[in-house]
Structure 1
């Protein structure tokens, strides 16, 4: 049953990724000199957000579910698993027990998990707190209430995770759920 749920979640994520890529590649309308809309055959230009492998992860400040301010830059010197998720997301639900187990196995402080909730598209703080309690999550849950950070980090399908090294450099972007073994291998590959 769990394998079927995970497989279904992975298929759903793949379909969302395809849909987003098709949507982002659709032509847009522009106004000509007379102010009339005209069709343009070129895809929408993407703004370079600076979020890519090999670059410094853009800093942000968010408030956690507990009301504490979190800055990504405060975690320099540690490896960071930056995860974007929501309570209604089946692959996120499948991934959370693995993240909690991974977090508990790495309580020495060299690795940190920041699980950013997409609060702007979720079901409210009460549902988020219920989710955290149900899954026994003990890592920080920053709330992206305006959706700006998930947009900056291009979390168009969730879960989306970034592996950030101890110098703050993005090592890897992962779209879709991970298990503990994958988290371990990705974190071992960075300084």
Structure 2
């Protein structure tokens, strides 16, 4: 699935979600401007997501932040997300949540299949996306994603 994440021309408006986390914490994705990142969308009610998350958890742990991945549970209540992550022993998946409406307004292409992995450039624009499971445990997957993000960091704004 990594070749499908090869960046193309910028699509959509810059991502500007306000994510909600435990204890009333929030994260604005606008604060990520200046560096590209991977936005991974999943849901507690999504069977393929449930299968994929352990590999993503391991990927995040092993990458040590070299590949910035922001996992976001879409249309999943925060208490359920936190319980799901705790029961699944997924400590490296941050419990960020986002409403379906906010995501649909940005994505503008109907209902995407979850899980969904997006490459976001340093200006906050969608450059590539894959709907469905990713092979987070692929040989040299980390290296491939580092190279993709480094190429976007060096690219001039379009």
Common topology (TM > 0.5)? yes
Larger of the two Rg values belongs to structure: 1
Q: Say which structure, 1 or 2, has more relative contact order (CA 8 Å, 6+ apart).
A: 2
Q: 2:27 aligns with which of 49, 70, 84?
A: 70
State yes or no: 1:148 paired with 2:101: yes
| Alignment-derived partner of residue 88 in structure 1 | 45
| Alignment-derived partner of residue 136 in structure 1 | 90
State yes or no: 1:172 paired with 2:131: no
TM-score, normalization: structure 1? 0.60
Q: Call closer, same or farther: CA 1:92–1:187 in 2, change over 3 Å.
A: farther
| Alignment-derived partner of residue 101 in structure 1 | 58
- 8 Å CA contact 1:163–1:187 kept in 2: the answer is no
Encode CA deviations 1:71-119: one digit per residue, 9 max, x unaligned: 1121234332111111121110121112111111222x44322222123
Separation of aligned partners in 2, 1:187 and 1:163 = 11
Q: Call closer, same or farther: CA 1:74–1:139 in 2, change over 3 Å.
A: farther
| Alignment-derived partner of residue 113 in structure 2 | 157
TM-score, normalization: structure 2? 0.70
Separation of aligned partners in 2, 1:162 and 1:83 = 6
The worse-fitting range, judged by mean Cα deviation, of 162-171 and 80-89 is 162-171
CA RMSD, Structure 1 to Structure 2 (Å): 2.5
Q: Which runs of 4+ in 1 moved over 4 A?
A: none
